[in-house]
Amino acid sequence: MQESAVIPDPRSGLLDDIRTSIVGIAAKHAEDVDARARFPEETFAALRDSKALSAAVPRELGGRGLGLRELSAHCAALAHGCSSSAMILAMHHIQVGCIARHGMHSAYFRDFLRRIDRDQLLIGSVTSEVGTFGDTRSSVTCVERQGERFNLTKDATTISYGKEADALLVTCRRAEDSPASDQVLVLLHKSDYRLQQTSGWDTLGMRGTCSPGFKMTSSGSIDQILPGSFADSSAQTMVPYSHILWSSLWYGIASAAVARAASHVRGEARKRPGSVPASATHLAKVAAQLQSVRHNWQAVASEFDALGASEADMQALLGIGWALKLNNLKVGVSESAAQIVHQALQIAGILGYKNDSPLSIGRFYRDVLSAALMISNERIASKSASMLLVFKDDA
Amino acid sequence: MDAASARREDLHASAQERVRSVLNAHGRLGRRVDELADGDDLYAAGMTSLASVNVMLALESEFDIEFPDQMLNRSVFASIDAIAAAIERIQKA
């Protein structure tokens, strides 16, 4: 019998915490976060109180050891209150996932995972770079080793919550003579790096993620280089975690918009009991779309969680079948979620269009438009097109 | 007779040599293919996943084979030896 079945987890019920309490805190401050493009600090104080930042840390190292099915449920729930909060939580889990799935053989990274739990550290990501044109699988900069130490500088086009993060996970070339695609992940603690802001973050939506560009300079110990290759950790963890968690929060945004549209429809119905308002039929169609989006991310999350750490399962994640599956999820959900929010606005009408109405859909609409752009759907479609030239779907 | 069919005629051309010629044309490596040993890591030599798809396509044409989906992963295309071994497995199946 597994440990989890006999010893009650004193910190169980995190999803309940998020649904009953944290999402309310996130919602209360979401307008101010959006208006001022500021970090949602109240949400993250509450998440830390619930030890939510170590949800993806293995149980043996103090965390909850949750899989993507549960982590994505957290992100979906949180997105109801504040999309930026949910996106930051998702990005944090992606970084923790990379460390937990690829750093367990390193005493250094095991200790760091314990610290994530103990101090509820927030981990940011530095994958973008001037000169790689949005391709996370290539880097310009590299680790410059000097004995047991390294220097690393990076001109990043964006670092989400760069100022608020307690540590950063950075992609770069393995060594000075490595090609652009031979990358590693490097962990930097706050005391290891300095950030010089190079651009602003005045965007249409997702304003609370606070993601301007920075020039980063750092140094550290070579223990801080995550073992293995980013080619593997990208395909086996970063890409699946990203596309599944992002999809869940885009679903959360869409379902929040539909909830407001439904509230409008119920109001219409109460005015004339006995007749079904025309908008209710429109809502019924949107509800069907919303359901298929939910089943899409939940199914891929469950399928991913069903894979183990065996060599065969980890190899499967390096294959074209999984790459296509994840691409399809990302493109499909990002497009559907935006369409659903658009339909919710049609249903809610002018009350949804007004920013100062309780049925306002504007912020959801602006936030969800980021979905197709963060790792552009055009880029993903062109990669899928290329993979489909050799994929036979003969599984 | 084109170059590819000329190579097919040459019974002495080893699988490794034919793989090298495909890599030369489609691998977009950062290094010259003739500088690589048969066991060298092609990804470390700069092959991207996108380039590897072109390599797969060209190998399917060159050897008149189809890679089954479970072989379409990084480890199968990690080195000249690994590719040649995979082709041999398909040809024997």
What distance in Å separates residue B39's CA from the closest CA in chain A?
17
| Nearest residue to A65 via CA among A11, A111, A22, A20 | A11
The pLDDT, as a whole number, for residue A7 is 43
Rounded Cα distance, A193 and B91, in Å: 53
Query: For chain A, which residues score pLDDT lower than 70?
Result: 1-12, 395
Phi-psi category of residue A310: left, alpha or beta, with phi > 0 → left and psi -120 to 50 → alpha: beta
- Higher per-residue confidence, A134 vs B21: B21
First to last CA, chain B: 29
- B42, B50, B77, best to mutate vs chain A, most A CBs in 10 Å: B50
Q: Which fold has domain B3-92?
A: 1.10.1200
Half-sphere exposure of A126 (CA within 13 A, CB side): 35
Residues of A in contact with B44 (CB under 8 A): 178-179, 182
Domain residue ranges of chain B, discontinuous segments joined by +:
3-92
Q: Nearest CB to B50: which of A235, A383, A394?
A: A383
Phi-psi category of residue A274: left, alpha or beta, with phi > 0 → left and psi -120 to 50 → alpha: left
Q: Nearest CB to B53: which of A231, A387, A393?
A: A387
Strands A193-197 and A214-221: antiparallel
Question: Within chain A, which residue ranges are assigned CATH 1.20.140.10?
Answer: 230-388
Instruction: Tell me whether B14 touches chain A (CB under 8 Å).
Output: no
The pLDDT, as a whole number, for residue B3 is 60
Rounded Cα distance, A104 and A340, in Å: 41
Helix (H) or strand (E) holding A349: none
SS3 call for B93: coil
- Higher per-residue confidence, A126 vs B93: A126
- Higher per-residue confidence, B11 vs A94: A94
DSSP A263-294: HHHHHHHHHSTTS--HHHHHHHHHHHHHHHHH
Backbone angles phi, psi at B66, to 5 degrees: -130, 125
Judged by CB atoms closer than 8 Å, whether chains meet at B48 and A393 is answered as: no
Backbone angles phi, psi at A85, to 5 degrees: -60, -45
- A314, A317, A386, A390, best to mutate vs chain B, most B CBs in 10 Å: A390
The pLDDT, as a whole number, for residue A262 is 98
pLDDT tens column, A122-155:
999 999 999 998 889 999 999 999 999 999 999 9
What distance in Å separates residue B10's CA from the closest CA in chain A?
27
The complex's ipTM?
0.77
What distance in Å separates residue B79's CA from the closest CA in chain A?
15
The pLDDT, as a whole number, for residue A2 is 41
Q: Looking at domain A125-224, does it have CATH number 2.130.10.10? A: no
CATH superfamily for domain A230-388: Butyryl-CoA Dehydrogenase, subunit A, domain 3 (1.20.140.10)
> Residue B84 pLDDT more than 60?
yes
Rounded Cα distance, B68 and A366, in Å: 43
**Helical packing angle, A83-102 and A107-119, nearest 10°:** 150
CATH superfamily for domain A3-121: Acyl-CoA dehydrogenase/oxidase, N-terminal domain (1.10.540.10)
- Give the rounded percent of residues in chain B with a pLDDT score beyond 90: 53
Residues of A in contact with B66 (CB under 8 A): 392
CB-CB neighbours of A32 under 10 Å: 12
